[in-house]
Amino acid sequence: MSMSLPDDTDDHPHDHCGVFGVWAPGEDVSRLTYFGLYALQHRGQQSAGIAASDGNNILVYKDQGLVNQVFNEQTLTGLRGHIALGHVRYATTGADNWHNAQPTLGPTPWGTVALGHNGNLINTAALSTLVDKISHGERRADRNSTTDTSIITDLLGKADRLPAPWRGEEGAVEDVDEGDAATSAAPTTAPASAKPAARTVLDSEPTTPTAQADTAPAGADNAQPGRPSEAAFQAARRASGEIDRGALSEAIRQAREAGDDEDHGSLVPSALKVLPLLRGAFSLVFMDEHAMYGARDPHGYRPLVLGRLPRGWVLASETSALDLVGASFVREIKPGELVVIDSSGVRSYTFAQAASATCVFEYVYLARPATVIGDRQIVAARRQMGAILAKENPAEADLVMPTPESGTPAAIGYAEESGIPFAQGLVKNSYVGRTFIQPTQSLRQLGIRLKLNPLKEVIAGKRLIVIDDSIVRGNTQRALVRMLREAGALEVHVRISSPPVLWPCFFGIDFPTRAELIASSMDVDEICRSIGADSLAYLSLPGMVRATGQGDNLCVGCFTGAYPEPVTRGTPIPGTPGATV
């Protein structure tokens, strides 16, 4: 098993996961997925996994480590079929161990489901209680897993025991004939243009209190008919917020017309029951023995795109993964949309009205520069962030230099706008990350020096403007400023291409508790003194939003404390075990 080198000085935000799926009969789908995961490795470095279906069985192979450490020719050769699903994970919910690696695997009444999840749910407690109620003492799909992904897998596998959410609130858990669901559905509860108002919910400090393969034959451990208690279902229903019964009624009608129903073994009816119960961020790719599915939460916090191969289709977290496997970009999966891909093509169902609020940190740091989200290429957005930063916060200096590699596009934009020359004053060691060698204490103390090497001939005697994408705890910038001064820099002016991070994230980024965020307890001048810089300035919130080109369709909760949906007290803070709101 591999391990991470000390990361005490690297406090950049980390995304939860990356997902990749391919439906392509006649293609080497596991190898395509392997290379797709390579393009998404930046979204998760703690574990990787691939599931493949040959039409009769689903085989999952996963382990801790990077993609090239988990898979080799032998493992890929064993993953045969016409559908494959891949996942890379960075742990924000659940411990970093093998059982929490994805894809997850579980039985359904018609076969098996494998699932990969990018995001983080905020109503897991109610959902977990619901799973317990409908399981009737049966073991869960993975009893050792502690992730919200395993809960979704369980719900999909036992969805036949859930009432239809497209029915009205009264009698929702009654055992009734669902054949007339379309005609008995209640009217839509909100107009199509409705968008929930952001709410500030955190008004006080949170409290902190070996490789294996899975197989499941079709129909193994099938669920038995049953219903949850009304209290359990209604608790999950309340925790999931408003359910658009009109959209669901229309979706189930369309699914029946298309043959996406239980009689044909489709997971669409199960998904249309489960997806409306989920709150928070989820971009899902899942599969059964015959079809691949994709779904995106109504806010679209995390990206998910559809691509076309000559003989198939691809779902991926980013367009850069499509590029690497030679797939052409078709479109983004819409917020609140479920898609199914099989031999009949691609079909789409709307399970909730869209209220778009894509995570702004996809533009600031998380996504690869070549990726396109919301018709905006990430590298262009970051260069404009740098240009706006130069207008808002100029400084007299000899050189503009980035913190590699995330700060490079913004540094180029800053240099172009300011007219100050751009230079690479730091070289990143691309091969430092995960290793099989336990680092000694002396190596741990080197910290950032293991990752970045200063070019003294560039830095010495110069006044520097150093561009970085964010400051979380301040550890990275503090060590960096010290290293630049030791290399002979006369002045170090730090410029950040995003606003101060003041609040934790509940939707898939591992920001720490508010008490650990340096900007929550210090003003800009105090942070400047703390990191040892000559000056410090941040990009304004309007400037950052303008650079993305997305208008109001963004989640900026980590900067403002106003989230697109309410976060109730007791909700766990991702990436901080034991911490809750």
Enumerate the active-site residues: 17
Indicate the pairing of strand 491-496 with strand 535-538. Answer: parallel
Name the DSSP letter for residue 366: I
Could you list the beta-strand ranges (E) of 43-172: 47-53, 57-64, 83-89, 104-108, 111-121
Token pair recorded at residue 421: 């020359």
Which SS3 state, helix, strand or coil, does residue 573 take? coil
Q: How far apart are CA 397 and CA 529, in angstroms?
A: 19
Token pair recorded at residue 416: 């172009």
The CA distances from residue 289 to 55, 105, 220, 348, 458, in Å, are 5, 12, 13, 19, 57
The CA distances from residue 487 to 315, 448, 492, 493, in Å, are 46, 14, 11, 15
Element containing residue 317 per DSSP (H, E): none
The CA distances from residue 517 to 1, 505, 510, 514, in Å, are 32, 12, 12, 5
Element containing residue 479 per DSSP (H, E): helix 475-486
Which SS3 state, helix, strand or coil, does residue 526 take? helix
Contacts of 5 (CB under 8 A, 6+ apart): 432, 433, 434, 435, 439, 443, 450
Work out whether the CA dihedral 237, 240, 241, 245 comes out positive or negative. negative
Work out whether the CA dihedral 562, 566, 569, 574 comes out positive or negative. negative
Of 265, 232, 270, give the one whose Cα is nearest residue 252. Answer: 270
